[in-house]
Amino acid sequence: MYEPEVTVITTTHNIVDAGKADDFTLLLNLLNKQTYPYIEHLVIDNASDDDTVDFLKEYKNLGYINFYSAPDNGKFDAMNKGLLRAKGKYVAFLSCDDFYHDITGIADVVNLMEENEADFCYFPSYCVPEDNNVFLFNPSPYNVFQVMPFPRQAAVFNRESLARVGNFDAKFRLCADYDLLIKLFLSNAKGIFFDGCIVTYRMGEQTLKHPTQLQLECEHIYHQNFRNLYPLNDNVIDRMVQIAEIPKPLLEKLVKCFPGDEEIFYERYRQMYELRKENAEYRRAQERQQRGR
């Protein structure tokens, strides 16, 4: 019986000096316990200049990983390099401090994708923010054109499906994964939901530290992906980013990405729009209050 290989791609840079070597070891040990037997773990290192390369060599010699160390242009550029080297039909992306906590998870997801000939599979995940108050992130695929619908760590992709949409656009240093998901949905790639939480991931530090760059990248992503569907201007894009408001003519085109689920799409869109608008109004009220003191 044919068993497709899975490649897990991890990017690293100076993880020893960053105090993440133990986290990475946990990732390796739990990945090694997966019941699915055909997993390749590919580590793409950004020319680390601490003890990371020697650390990785030890695990390569033990047969845990394959790794390559060379300068890159950010984590998404490194992930693209990993995709070019990957052997698996399916690929997944874990950072050095993420891990699969369910040892049957990869097998369950691959079986589901094979049965349904899916281009990608997404699932719930545990998110660890900076304050370590872990919460469950449930996927929201119908809101993909408003917010990140699920983290890249909570998905497995058919490698050819990613290649068809151009892999990661590495000019987006923070949000290339969001851009990738929008491209997949717009291309009518077949996504499937797996009802099981198999991964724990840590919220990205850079995203939290650079809100202005995050906003600018989102604006660029919307313009790049939707400009041929609707005449966008700065005001439209700003409202899309700030309060998740999508113009009706554009919305009527985007709903076609969810054939048979139009009512659910519109309802989820409305819920997200109302929530984001309410939050924006609250923030503005707080700012006015602060200025009045």
Structure confidence by residue, pLDDT tens digits, 12-26? 999 999 999 999 999
Which residue shows structure tokens 């906003």?
215
> Which pLDDT score, from 0 to 100, does residue 58 have?
96
Token pair listed for 263: 């009512």
User: What is the CB neighbour count within 10 angstroms for residue 3?
Assistant: 12
> Which pLDDT score, from 0 to 100, does residue 293 have?
60
> Which pLDDT score, from 0 to 100, does residue 2 have?
64
> Which pLDDT score, from 0 to 100, does residue 64 have?
94
Rounded to 5°, angle at Cα 185 from 138 and 258:
80
> Which pLDDT score, from 0 to 100, does residue 102 have?
98
- 150 SS3 class: coil
The 10 Å CB-count burial string (b at 16+, else e) for 170-187 is: bebbbbbbbbbbbbbbbe
The low-confidence residues of the chain, meaning pLDDT below 50, are none
CB 120 within 8 A of CB 161: yes
CA separation for the pair 43, 36 (Å, rounded):
19
Token pair listed for 208: 């939290």
Return the amino acid letter for 172. F
> Which pLDDT score, from 0 to 100, does residue 25 have?
97
> Which pLDDT score, from 0 to 100, does residue 205 have?
72
DSSP-assigned letter for residue 103: T
CA separation for the pair 132, 129 (Å, rounded):
5
